Structures are given as C-alpha cells and as structure tokens.
Chain A
Amino acid sequence: MTQEKEKALKLFAAKVRRWAIEGVYHAKSGHPGGSLSCADVLTYIYNEEMNVTAASAKDQARNRFVLSKGHCAPALYATLGLLGFFDIEEMKKLRKVDSFLQGHPCMQYTPGIDMSTGSLGQGISAASGMAINAKYLDKTNYKVFTILGDGEMQEGEVWEALMSSAHYKLDNFCVILDNNGLQIDGKVDDVMSLGDIEAKTKAFGFETRVIDGHDFASIEQAMKDFNANIGSGKPFFIISKSHKGQGVSYMLDNAGWHGKAPNDEEYAIAVSELDAAIKALED
C-alpha cells in the first residue's frame, strides 16, 4: 500500500470517527465504542471494495454491505454521509424523531443501507441470502460483505448462517468479525467466551484470516486474499482484531462506552483528539 493511499484511508477513517461521535453526542445516546472499533474496516470496504455510489445504490449488480452489528450504525452513517449518499450534517439529527437516521439501520429510510439490522445474528443471514442470489439466481459477480460483533457471535443464528454459507459455497461472501473483545456486560471471555474463533470458523468450512483491524495494510492483504479466494467454493472469514473506542483516549478498550453518549466535557475531549488526528493527516 502506498503511503499516500494509507494516509487517505486514515483521514477518511478519522472523519468517520469524528462524525460518529458527533451523531452520538447530539442524539445523547447510541453506541460509540463499537462504531470506533470498526471504523477502519468500514472505511476500507467502502473506499476500496464496494465501488457503490448514491447513483448506483439500487443497481442489481452492485456489491452489498450489511452491518450485522447494527448498533454501530453511527460509523456506517458517517461513512455513507462522507461518500455523498446524504448530507453529512444529517448526523446531527441521528436518532431524532424526524430523522431518517434510525438508532439501528433501516433500509427503507436511509439511502445506501442494503438491509435493516439491529437484532443481532440476523444480518449475517440476510447477507448470505444476497450472496446466494448472486451465485445461484442472478449468476452475477457481485460480492457481499458483513461485519459482525464478537458479542453477536453468541447468537445461535450466526452459526446457522456460517453453516449454510459453507454449504452453499458462498465464496463471494466476506464475513468480518470486529473482534474488540468487549460487550455490554464486560469482556466477552467473562460473559460467554467464544473459544477459538479461528479454529471454529475453519471447522465450519471458511477460509479464515486474522488481521490487525486498525492497520490498513493488514486489512488490504485480507481483502486481496478474499478476492483471490473467489472461485474456491469457500466463504471468507476475517477476524479483525480491534480496540473498542479506538481513536478516543478515554473510550479505548472500555466496555462502559459500548452504549453511552459522551457528555459536554467528554465530547470536547473526543473532538479535540479526533480533530487533531484529522489535521495531522491533512497537513
């Protein structure tokens, strides 16, 4: 990856974080921690893989993305807003009664949303349905991406979907686990440990990679591997090691920031940190 490209991606991701915080702050509720942990992967997928614009958002042959961990909607909305699907200033109306930016993604209200999610475990199933459609019904080459949370992997439906994705040989399907290790009640390992996810997903028939979810070179390598894997008959699984709250010092690795909005003082700190990061990258 060229330095220039990496810098551009980092800048975009910093803006995603900045706008995600802006949205959650104005809403006075929402999920900043997980939004920040998946911001880099989202940035890469939408800038380098999706190749979708507001104009092509309804094309049958477009690539698709489903945010299975739907509570991290602020990061997805910020991504779509920065890409021009809607006015980014709409982020300030997040979760308000007259806004099209719902607390969890709604495909009927928001431009660019491919599937309504929010109830954990269901997004991966819906995404696999889109991959089935490409491979067996439309017989086109589009790809489908979904991001899961690690708490979400406790849902039985996730494993049902992994099973059916392997059974139907969905090699056009890329599942990314935002593996920040934390969920609402604390550490995933304390609440309900997932065991060896790499071994489990491999055993389910996936081609699995473990990456640093905040390193664009690492993300890019995994995505290259996914693209090279198309045609193999195996779906692809990326364990993206990440940090909850990445980019805001006091939120880092803190389960308390799963579903809480910053107050005025905390907001000011977050803004100063993220604006400094943006400025450094713009210079």
Chain B
Amino acid sequence: MSEMATRDAYGKALVEFGADKSIVVMDADLSGSTKTGEFKKVYPDRFFNMGIAEGNMMATAAGIATCGKTVFCSTFATFASERPLEQIRNSICYPNLNVKICASHAGLTVGEDGASHQCLEDMAVIRSIPNIRVICPSDGASTRLAIKAAIDNPGPFYIRLGRAKVPSVYGEYGADVPFAIGKSNLLRPGQDLTIIACGIMVKTALEAHEILKSKGINARVLDMHTIKPIDKEAIAKASRETGLIVTAEEHTINGGLGSAVCEAVCESHPCLVRRFGVNDTFGKSGTPKDLLEAYRLTAEDLAIECEAVYKDLKG
C-alpha cells in the first residue's frame, strides 16, 4: 500500500496546479518542511519567503489577495493558526479575501519536536471565525483535491496537513476521489454505530471497522474531511440510522471535529456521541507511532472505545 505525507501531496499539488499565474505562495522559513519549496523550484517568481514573522505573512498575503491573486500561506500549524490568529480574523476572514492557509505539522504525529510544535487546537480556533472553510484531508489523493477545491473556490481556507507519511485511503496521488467541500464520504456502510473521522484518523477508523466487524459490530465510517462547513445531513442520517456516533481526530476533543459533530447532532437528531481524540492535554516528544500508542489513538484503541460505548448503549 502506498504511503505519502499530506504535506508532500500539498507540495506536489502546488506544482501541478501552479501554472495558473494568479497563484502565489508564501512561507515563513519552513518551505523545506511545508513543501512549498517544491513550488518555489518551479515558479520562483511567485514564491515569497516572509521569514519568521507569521502575523506579517498573513496580512501581507491579504494585501496581495486584494489584487486578485490566490495566495497560499504555509508554516507549521501552530504558527499558522494560533500565533497569527487575529491577522487571520481581521485581515483575511473579515474582508473575505482569497488566502489559503495550508498548515503542515498538525497533530501529535509531528513527533520528536514535542508539545510546542504539536498543534492540537487549530481546527477549534479557526472554525470559530466566519467566512473560512476548514479541511483536514486523510491522504495524498484527497489532499490534492482539497488544494484544487481551495483554488476553485474564492475566499479563505484552512487546510490541515501532517508531517508523517500516512497510508493511502483513496489510492495514489492523482487518483479520482470523490471530493466536495462540505460533503463527507461514506467509506463503509454500517448500522450499529458510525465512526466520523478526519485526517489520519480516517485510516485508523477503517482499521477499527475491521476489528469491530470481527466482533460482530457493523460500524459505518464517514470521512468528514470538511470540518467547516460540516456535513449536517450525513451526521443527522448517521444519528437516525445508527443511533451512536464516535468521532475520531488527531486534535483536542474540545472544539474540533467532535464538537462540530455534537453541535450538528444536537440540532438535528440527538444521539450519544463519544469524542475520540486528544483529551484536553498537550503532546510530548516521541516517534509518531509511539505517541499514537501513548495517547491511545491507535485503531485498537478506537475499536475498544467503540465496542465499550456500543455495549453500554445497545448491549
């Protein structure tokens, strides 16, 4: 099975779609890591390194966007969301400008750099701002389409990308994947419960689905790649048809995917929702694999959680 980090897919997508002269890319001294450096190699005239000054980068990007350009801004997720949050709010989202924030190194799987660099709150803070759409793709193929969608749809986007290589969900980079902003993908049918996942947890959910199946539990799996606007219809349907939802995200359980699903469930067809993710704590150093085990975010952990809550409710 092929593996690819979503940041690598991002760099590739920028090159693939970058011939369009209205596309501009900015970075804050991390172009090698965020993979915007790939764009720079091919289109150096439309790449701007803004140095380690993220607030200035975001508002400068906004200024370029007022001139009719599509501006991609990248750095690590912590420095692309929480540090320049107010520039994102006031200079990008309030005037609804065409800036695409593509944040790499989100989540625990940043690994050895530890808590300061492991962004676990970005989806929560960003999705509270009007006008911006928040997307967390699961693999290389879907990342490519998220970037394409961001180019095709004017206005602010926040796209959450990871450092670590992840196994593909949809096939190789370039595969024909169903992808529409705000429309989740049904990856596995199921009636007993629904796992709603985003990012690297989509693959984890598919693995948990297999484990649960071996125990006679039939879990529906949804790839909720768009956290905002969230697919309320699919969530309400899952609630109605399966009566139990478990959300899975490499992010704090407060304010991100789990919270967005809870909001949608409460306002449509209430059912029990269990939020699976990082439990209101910071990360720490370690290999990505060791961290996912330490924070109980493996497919086995997810299956255990699903089985327990399923038996509590329905057993």
B274 at the interface (CB under 8 A from A): no
Query: Which residues of A, 151-172, contact B by the 8 Å Cβ criterion?
Result: 156-157, 160-161, 163-164, 167-168
Nearest CB of chain B from residue A60's CB, rounded to whole Å: 7
Q: Which residues of the partner chain B approach A108 to less than 8 Å between Cβ atoms? A: 95-96
Q: How far is the CA of A167 from the CA of B48 in the complex (A)?
A: 11
Stretch at the interface among B62-70, B145-153, B159-167, B292-300: B62-70
CB 8 Å contact bits of A125-143 with B (1 = contact, 0 = none): 1111110111011100000
Given contacts A133-B64, A137-B64, A164-B50, contact A122 B95 (CB under 8 A): no
CB 8 Å contact bits of B73-110 with A (1 = contact, 0 = none): 00000000000001100110011100000000000000
Contact A137 B95 (CB under 8 A): no
Contact B86 A130 (CB under 8 A): no
Q: How large is the interface on B (under 10, 10 to 19, 20 to 34, 35 or more residues)?
A: 20 to 34
B56 at the interface (CB under 8 A from A): yes
Stretch at the interface among A28-36, A72-80, A111-119, A224-232: A111-119
Contact A126 B24 (CB under 8 A): no
B37 at the interface (CB under 8 A from A): no
Q: Which residues of the partner chain B approach A119 to less than 8 Å between Cβ atoms? A: 86-87, 90-91
Q: Which of A66, A130, A137, A163 contacts B46 (CB 8 A)?
A: A137
Given contacts A137-B69, A163-B53, contact A106 B95 (CB under 8 A): yes
Q: Which residues of the partner chain A approach B63 to less than 8 Å between Cβ atoms? A: 66, 115, 125-130, 132-133
A103 at the interface (CB under 8 A from B): no
B277 at the interface (CB under 8 A from A): no
Contact B60 A126 (CB under 8 A): yes
B45 at the interface (CB under 8 A from A): yes
Contact B59 A136 (CB under 8 A): no
A107 at the interface (CB under 8 A from B): yes
Nearest CB of chain B from residue A156's CB, rounded to whole Å: 8
Q: How far is the CA of A134 from the CA of B309 in the complex (A)?
A: 59
Instruction: Closest B residue to A162 by CB, please name it.
Output: B56
Instruction: Closest B residue to A118 by CB, please name it.
Output: B90
B55 at the interface (CB under 8 A from A): yes
**27 intermolecular pairs with C-beta atoms under 8 Å apart:** A60-B67, A108-B95, A108-B96, A114-B66, A115-B95, A119-B87, A122-B55, A122-B87, A125-B58, A125-B59, A125-B87, A126-B59, A126-B60, A126-B62, A129-B61, A129-B62, A129-B67, A130-B63, A133-B64, A136-B48, A137-B24, A137-B64, A138-B67, A160-B53, A161-B56, A161-B60, A164-B53
Additional 9 contacts, C-beta under 8 A, given A106-B94, A115-B91, A127-B63: A66-B63, A119-B91, A122-B55, A125-B60, A129-B67, A133-B63, A137-B69, A160-B53, A164-B50
